[in-house]
Amino acid sequence: MEGKILDQETTAEQNPTNIQIANTRSKRKYDIIIIGASGYTGRHVTMEMGRLSQTYNLTWAVAGRNIKKLQDILNELYMTLDGYEDKKIDIIYANLYDFETIMKMTQTTSVVINCTTPYYIFGEVVVKSCVLTSTHYVDVTGEPLFMEKMAYKYDEQAEKNNSIIVSGVDVESVPSDLGVEFLFQHFNGELKNVDMYKYVYLSKIIFTVGGMIHHSIWISFLLHLATKKRRLYYRNLLDELMGIIRIKPTVSKLFHKQQLSMQTDHKTWCLACPEPDQAVVTRSIHHAKTKERLPYNFNARGYRVVSGLIPGILGLLMFLFLSILVIIQPIRSLFVQLPTFFTFGVSTSCGPSEKFMKNLCLTLTLIGYGTTSVKHPTIDPNNEKNDITARKKTIATVEIKNTNEFTSKAVILGAVTIIKDQINIPKGGVLTPAAAFRNTKFVERLMNHDAAVFKVESDLVTYSQ
């Protein structure tokens, strides 16, 4: 089956049931259910849920097809965490190929945390069930095709049924999406353009056994490359439906050197990377302008910081090479069947070690350009008519010490925010993280739980001569 995973239809297409069970928002048995809890990401989310559920007094359960694996995860939780001596977390049978079991699961909870990957294959059936049962939903996908297909197919119905569907509540999209929101709130002027620079690095050199990514990440990456036509198809449909206008890349900045801090003159090589960050932020800006009538008259572009000119060029060539090879079905199947071999040990079935993940950090630098109204220092400060428009540049950063821990905390706190701050969230729809959480305490919760630090690094105002 694994070799054909990129060619199979989604589980939602295999379960075409469209039975409407909306308006059932009475008190449910669970606050949160984690589906896919026995997988690599699901295990970490489950362990973090064990801690955070005690803080927020949540009732929760895990769901999946393999009851034994789910029980093993919970046994690990019972042995690791205090406070579970007299508690037993419920296990719910939910088979992604049996739509009825998914529907039964979603009807018992307020929010579903979906950890099943790849999302394009296994995610839609859960989204569809949540929409039909007026259940809220969050996930940790980084797949643009899945996110935009869900927005196109289910946004209107989710809004009608008061079902809040939020994808990308993870380390890929949240720093960029909420980082841009943070920058806008602290810009103090008219923001016109934002450049986002993502830098992933190890806090210290370590020697550890294991790869750098889990097989599921590798498969999702191959899926992204192999489904380019479908991705553009649904993106065009979504843009036409909602009136989204996407900016074209700046040719001169496809591969460039950039000063990322006003505290140093050092410049770093950066590579344009519009997926998924830029795609998500574009939808957030559009939602703010059209749904909330906010003055978001700016664009945002995404870039990745690379370690140098040669590594950047090699990485770009490798990406282009894989983009061509993955189109060929037999080669694509080999990539899926032998991931460790074709990634030279980077992708493994067990994923990276805990030691590796604890040292994997992320810094997102957001550079905002725009204008502001100020008094020129050489003009009489008491004369209001002497206010001038000056160029303004603000740099904000999002610092994350542990990327894996951030994802687990972010998706759980996203679910918590839907439960606690629902009055400040749109009543329903398929939303981006910023569209859902911009008026809530989500960022505050992330900082309170040491998941991330959002801060303004510097401001620069330039007067015209």
At 38, give phi and psi (nearest 5°). -90, -5
Q: Tell me what percent of the residues of the chain surpass a pLDDT of 90.
A: 66
What is the pTM assigned to this prediction?
Answer: 0.91
Phi-psi region of 207 (alpha: psi -120 to 50; beta: other; left: phi over 0): beta
Task: Kindly report, residue by residue over 282-327, the tens digit of the pLDDT.
Answer: 999 999 999 999 999 999 999 999 988 898 899 889 889 998 999 8
Task: Kindly report, residue by residue over 20-68, the tens digit of the pLDDT.
Answer: 565 555 689 999 999 999 998 999 999 999 999 999 999 999 999 999 9
Give SS3 for 43.
helix
Among 80, 2, 74, CA closest to 37: 74
Q: Residues 303, 271: contact at Cβ < 8 Å?
A: yes
Q: Residues 171, 451: contact at Cβ < 8 Å?
A: no
pLDDT band at 1 (very low <50, low <70, confident <90, very high): very low
Most trustworthy range by pLDDT among 82-91, 279-288, 353-362: 279-288
What is the CB neighbour count within 10 angstroms for residue 370?
A: 19
Distance between CA atoms of residues 163 and 349, nearest Å:
35
Q: Does residue 96 carry a pLDDT above 90?
A: yes
CA distances from 69 to 34, 62, 63, 91, 104 (A): 14, 11, 11, 11, 21
pLDDT band at 5 (very low <50, low <70, confident <90, very high): very low
Can you list the domains of the chain with their CATH numbers? 27-170+407-438 (3.40.50.720), 172-403+442-463 (no CATH)
pLDDT (0 to 100) of residue 186: 95
